[in-house]
Every structure is written in structure tokens, then in C-alpha cells.
């Protein structure tokens, strides 16, 4: 959808004239815009291109769920249609993720994880980036992670020709032994689901917002593992988080790497074979 069509749709739906419209990077076959309206509102807009298959209503749904069921700062959704998502624009100051920001993030994420949820999975399937994320509701975490995260993403990657068949066999071997490495959490927790640097907005040494969620209910450790994949959060975050929700021994030494297999498989599907070697190294470390 081009800028002119976006402008027309916004003015009709929101009842205000668009005074400024600037490109904003979003990716995955979508076009982003930073929009100013004559009534003073500033919006972030995502529009779907004809070639993209993503239904933007799912992202709007996930943001709405976080706004309703958590205290995480997320943008309010103003319009949510299959090909158009309109949110409040979150102002940032260009600052990086400092230790002070990490500590604030830890407070927010620990508060999210501390609330018991009724089951693993969710009331409906969601997305992570442009990829489907199945969420059948289950009573146990390890079977959920095995079947609907690790094996589901690995199987899709292999079917698309992105993951070598032999590597899928090794991942299936790991799946048979997950009870040896993982434990059930105290309770299911609602997860943002995609906590990496690009989805964390900062202003004034504080978290201004979390964007692009991939929600479901799961083990907090998989969320924490995500934050280490690209160095989003470090020691200051974990020190503050563990002061509120202590981790069981072995997370940093073993389980974080195991849980990172899931986002790494996502990157294999989206970006190709560059992300295969980290999977091989993790499996080799486990003797598989």
C-alpha cells in the first residue's frame, strides 16, 4: 500500500487530516510510516504490501492483550485491519540500552512473569515476525516447547529447504531427551515473546515501550534466553530480575543455549543458512 492510499485510509477512518507522513522501517513485506494528524496526534502505521501474507490484525490483537493483561508499556492500537495497523507513536531519544535501562526492563519483565496464567499456549495462535506460532493450550511446558516450538519450527525450516535433514534428526534426538535438561516452571507466565534490541524502545534512561510482540504463555526462561541472543540485556538486567524472581541453577550454563534454538531456527527460516552453525554448536555441546 503506497503513501497516498495510506493517507486516504487514515483520514477516512480517523476523521482527521494527515499533515505529515514519513517512512519508517518495519520489514517483512510491510511499509511503515510516522504520521502526524491535524488534531495533534502522532501515529505509527504499518501497511501491508500486496505480496505479504501477514494479517496485521494479529499484531493488533497481541498488543491489545498485553495492554489489557499486563503493565508493560506498549503502543495503544487505534485502528486494526488485515492490511493496516495504526498505533500511537512512542517517542524515543535515540539512547541505547544502558545498565539503568536494563534494570527498569527487568522490573517490567519480572512483573509480567510473576503473574500465574492458567495454561501454556494461548487462546489463539499468534505470530513471531511473519511466521505462524501455534499455541494449543497445555498443562505441561516441556511437551509444549518440544512439539509446538522446537520441532514445529525445525520441521518447517527443513520442509522449506533451509535446515539440513541430518540436523533435523539431531534436533529430534534432543527432543526425546528434553526432560533431562529442562524443568517445569512454577506456573505458566505471559511472555512478550520477542525481546530483542529492535523491539525495545528507550527514552530518558527508561523503557519507553515494547513493540512487535509474539505473545503466548510459557516458561520465563525462554523469554530470558531471547534477550541474550543478540546482547539485548546483560548482567545488570539479570541481577535486577533475579532479585525479584530467582532463576534455578544452570540457566546461563545450559538452558539459555537450549532455549535459543527456537529463535535461531526462526532466523534460519527468515534469513538462511548463516544461522545453521549455532544450532550445530549447541547440539555438539550437548553431545548430540
Active site (catalytic) residues: 194
CB contact at 8 A, 256 and 224: yes
Q: Could you tell me if 37 and 16 are in contact, meaning their C-beta atoms sit under 8 angstroms apart? A: yes
**Integer Cα distance of 243 and 13 in angstroms:** 46
Lookup result for grid cell 526425546:
176
- Looking up cell 499533515, which residue turns up? 19
Closest C-alpha to 64, from 47, 82, 78, 81: 78
Measured between alpha carbons, how far is 2 from 39 in angstroms, rounded to an integer?
A: 23
Answer whether 199's CB lies under 8 Å from 210's CB. yes
Is the distance from CB of 132 to CB of 216 less than 8 angstroms?
A: no
Measured distance CA(191)–CA(194) in Å, rounded: 8
Phi, psi of 241 (to 5 degrees): -65, -45
Q: Give the dihedral sign, CA 65/69/73/79.
A: positive
Cβ(77)–Cβ(63) below 8 Å: yes
Amino acid at each position: 500500500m503506497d503513501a497516498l492510499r495510506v493517507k486516504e485510509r487514515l483520514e477516512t477512518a480517523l476523521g482527521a487530516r494527515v499533515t505529515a507522513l514519513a517512512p519508517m522501517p518495519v520489514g517483512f513485506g510491510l511499509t511503515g510510516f510516522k504520521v502526524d494528524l491535524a488534531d495533534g496526534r502522532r501515529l505509527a502505521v504499518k501497511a501491508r504490501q500486496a505480496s505479504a501474507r501477514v494479517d496485521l490484525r494479529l499484531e493488533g490483537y497481541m498488543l491489545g492483550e498485553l495492554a489489557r493483561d499486563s503493565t508493560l508499556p506498549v503502543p495503544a492500537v487505534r485502528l486494526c485491519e488485515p492490511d493496516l495497523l495504526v498505533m500511537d507513536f512512542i517517542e524515543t531519544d535515540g539512547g541505547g540500552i544502558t545498565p539503568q535501562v536494563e534494570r527498569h526492563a527487568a522490573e517490567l519483565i519480572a512483573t509480567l512473569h510473576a503473574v500465574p496464567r492458567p495454561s501454556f499456549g494461548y487462546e489463539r495462535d499468534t505470530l513471531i515476525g511473519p511466521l505462524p506460532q501455534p499455541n494449543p493450550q497445555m498443562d505441561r511446558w516441556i511437551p509444549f516447547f518440544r512439539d509446538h516450538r522446537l520441532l514445529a519450527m525445525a520441521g518447517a525450516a527443513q520442509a522449506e529447504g533451509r535446515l539440513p535433514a541430518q540436523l533435523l534428526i539431531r534436533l529430534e534426538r534432543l527432543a526425546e531427551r528434553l526432560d533431562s535438561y529442562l524443568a517445569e516452571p512454577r506456573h505458566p507466565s505471559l511472555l512478550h515473546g520477542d525481546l530483542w534490541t529492535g523491539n525495545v524502545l528507550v527514552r530518558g534512561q527508561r523503557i519507553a515501550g515494547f513493540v512487535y510482540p509474539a505473545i503466548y504463555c510459557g516458561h520465563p526462561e525462554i523469554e530470558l534466553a531471547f534477550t541474550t541472543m543478540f546482547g539485548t540485556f546483560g548482567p545488570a538486567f539479570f541481577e535486577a530480575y533475579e532479585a525479584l524472581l530467582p532463576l534455578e541453577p544452570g540457566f546461563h550454563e545450559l538452558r539459555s543455549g537450549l532455549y535459543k534454538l527456537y529463535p535461531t531456527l526462526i532466523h534460519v527460516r527468515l534469513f538462511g543458512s548463516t544461522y545453521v552453525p549455532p544450532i550445530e554448536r549447541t547440539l555438539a555441546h550437548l553431545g548430540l
